[in-house]
Amino acid sequence: MKRASLFLTAALLASPIGLARPHLARADDATIKITRSDKDKARPHLTADEKTSDGSVDAGGQHVDYEAVAGTLIVHPKGWDDAAKLDGDSDKAGDKAADDTNPTAEAAMFYVAYFKKGARAENRPITFLYNGGPGSATVWLHMGAFGPRRVVTLDDSHGPAAPYRFINNDQSLLDVSDLVFIDAPGTGFSRIAGKDKEKDFYGIDQDGHAFADFIASFLSKYGRWNSPKYLFGESYGTTRSAVLINQLEQDKSVDFNGVILLSQILSFDASVDGPEMNPGVDLPYIVALPTYAATAWYHHKLPGTPGDLHALLTQVETFASTDYAAALQQGSMLDPAKRDAIAEKLHDYTGLPVDYIKKANLRVDGGEFEKTLQGDETTTGRLDTRFSGPTMDPLSKESDYDPQSAAIGSAYVSVFNDYVRKVLGYGDNKYYKPEIEIDNWDMKHQPPGATSPVSGSANVMPDLATAMKYNPNLKIQLNAGYFDLATPYYEGIYEMHHLPIPQALQANIEYHQYESGHMVYAHQAALQQLHDNVADFIRRTDAQGPGSAPPAAKH
C-alpha cells in the first residue's frame, strides 16, 4: 500500500492485518428491529444482547476464576436525548423528526468483559481496553496481550498456517483488574445503523463520544461507578484516550485513576507516514531517527560495531534533537559542508548510503526506509521493524505492505473467531470484522477551549493536558517499542514533554520502552515486561493518597 498520509491509510495504524480486505454485506451483520407508534416512528433499534460463561486463568502467580460476558450496549450520537425521544421530539435541533426514511443513528458496541468472581466492586479495578485504526477491532489486545487466552505466533517471522496454538495467558491482567475489551462502532461485532450513521460515529470527536457513552452505560449496568478505573488504548487508541478521558471528566463527571498508552500518537503532524506532503514540518524525521537506528542495529546494517542498543539510542536521541534538528531547520539554506557532515552521521545511524540520504535531502520517510534498508529484494516491517518479507515491487520507491501484518493477522483472527463462538458462546450467524476501511473518517477535532472544530492535522495533546489539569491526581503510563515505525517511541516522548501542563504535573507521567514493535506484546519477553509494568501501575494508583507518584523514569 502506498502512503499518502497516516490518516488516509486509516486501517494500517493499529491493525496488524495490513492491507484492508473487502468484506461482503451479510443479512446477519446487524439485527435491526423497527418499532412503530405515534411517538416513536420507525427508528432503528440495534438489539443489545449478551452471553455469559465461566472460566479461569493462571496469571501473575494467581489462579483467577472469572465470569465472562460477551455482548453489546447501545450508544447514540452526541446531542441525543433519551427523554426527548420519549416525547417524540426531533433527533437534534433543526433536524426533521425520525420516520421511515429518516431513522435515528445508533450503534451497538460489542464488548467482552471479564469479572473476577468473589471480588467487591469498590475494591476491584476495572480497565477498558481498545485498539485503534481508526477502523480496527480489539482482537489484537484481547488475543495477544491481556485476555485469559493468548494466540502464539513467531517472534519476528511468518509462521505456518492453521492450526494455531492457543494457550493460557500467564500475562493476563486479570491478576490485578477486571477487563473490558471494546470494539469501536462498525468494527468486530459492533454495528451502526440509521441516518448519517457514518457521520455520527466515524470521526475523532464522534468516536470519543461513543466510547464515553459506552463506558457510562457499562458502569451503570454492572454497578462499577465506585471502582478504580483505567483506560488502555493502543495506537489510534491513544488518540482516542486523550479525547475520551477529557470527555469522561467534563461530560460524564467521572474521574479515572489512570490512562495507559501503548504506541502513542497524539499529534498527527509528527507522523513519519508521508511527511513530504507537509513541507516545512521536519519533526517526523527527527522523532523517527532513533527507530531507524534501532532497526538498522537489529538487522546488522550499521557500519562498524555499534554495541549496546540502549547506549546507541542515547547518542541518536541527542543527535536527533540537536545537530539534526538544527540542520533541518535551515532548509535549503544549510551550508553544503554541514549538509555533507549530517549525511555522514545519518549513514552511521541508519546504515543507508550517503548518496541516498543526500538525494533525499536528509529526509527519509518511513516507507522509503522500509523499502531501502535491506536492499531491493527485502522489505522491512512497519509495525515491527524486526520483521522482514519479500519486496512486492523492486522498482517502487516505498514499501508496498507490512511484513508483520502479513505474518500474524491470520492467527489472531482465526483464533478469536473460534474462541468467541466456542468458548464465549457469542457470534452465531454474525460476521466478525477485524478491520474496516473508513475513507471518510472526520479528522476535524474541537480541542478544549475552541469554539468550533479545527481543520488540518489532528492534535489531541490539549485534551490530555486539560484532563490532567482538571484532575491533578490522574496518572499516565506511556509504553512503546523501539522497533515501531508506525508510532515511533521518541515521538511519544516528544509529545509528552510538550504537553501544555505545569512542570509539576510531568511527575504524573511514567515511561517504559521495550525491545519490540508497535504491538509490544507480540514479543514474549516484552509481553512479560509490559504486564509487570502495567500491573504495578494499577496497584500503585488504585487507592491513591497524598504523594503517590510514578517511579523515576528515564525520560
Interval 8-32 mean pLDDT: 37
Sequence-distant (6+) residues with CB within 8 A of 62 are: 175
Alpha-carbon span 506 to 476, nearest angstrom: 9
Longest Cα–Cα distance in the chain? 80
> With the C-alpha atoms ordered 430, 435, 439, 440, is the resulting torsion angle positive or negative?
positive
pLDDT digits (tens, 9 = 90+) for 97-154: 445 555 788 999 999 999 999 999 989 999 999 999 999 999 999 999 999 999 988 7
Task: Write out the three cell numbers for 113.
Answer: 468483559
Task: Write out the three cell numbers for 63.
Answer: 489462579
Dihedral (Cα; 289, 290, 292, 296), 10-degree rounding: 140
Q: What is the pLDDT of residue 277?
A: 81
Higher-scoring residue by pLDDT: 250, 81: 250
Residue 84 has pLDDT above 60, yes or no: no
CB neighbours (10 Å) of residue 392? 12
Residue 86 has pLDDT above 80, yes or no: no
Residue with cell 445503523: 193
Model-level pTM?
0.89
Alpha-carbon span 340 to 47, nearest angstrom: 64
Residue 552 has pLDDT above 70, yes or no: no
Residue 397 has pLDDT above 90, yes or no: no
pLDDT digits (tens, 9 = 90+) for 428-457: 989 999 999 888 899 999 999 898 888 878
Interval 235-247 mean pLDDT: 98
Q: Which of 6, 7, 4 is CA-nearest to residue 440?
A: 7
Q: What is the pLDDT of residue 140?
A: 96
Q: Which band of pLDDT confidence, cut at 50, 70 and 90, is reported for residue 42? A: very low
Q: What is the pLDDT of residue 550?
A: 54
Please name each of the domains of the chain with its CATH number: 6-268+409-541 (3.40.50.1820), 278-403 (no CATH)
Cβ density class 217-241: b for 16+ within 10 Å, e for less: ebbeebebeebbbbbbbbbbbbbbb
Adjacent-strand bridge partners of 412: none
Q: What is the pLDDT of residue 237?
A: 97
In which region does residue 311 sit, left (phi positive, over 0), alpha (psi from -120 to 50) or beta (all else)?
A: alpha
Q: Which of 152, 250, 264 is CA-nearest to residue 205?
A: 250
Interval 403-419 mean pLDDT: 89
Adjacent-strand bridge partners of 179: 114, 127
pLDDT digits (tens, 9 = 90+) for 272-319: 888 888 888 999 999 999 999 999 999 999 998 888 999 999 999 999
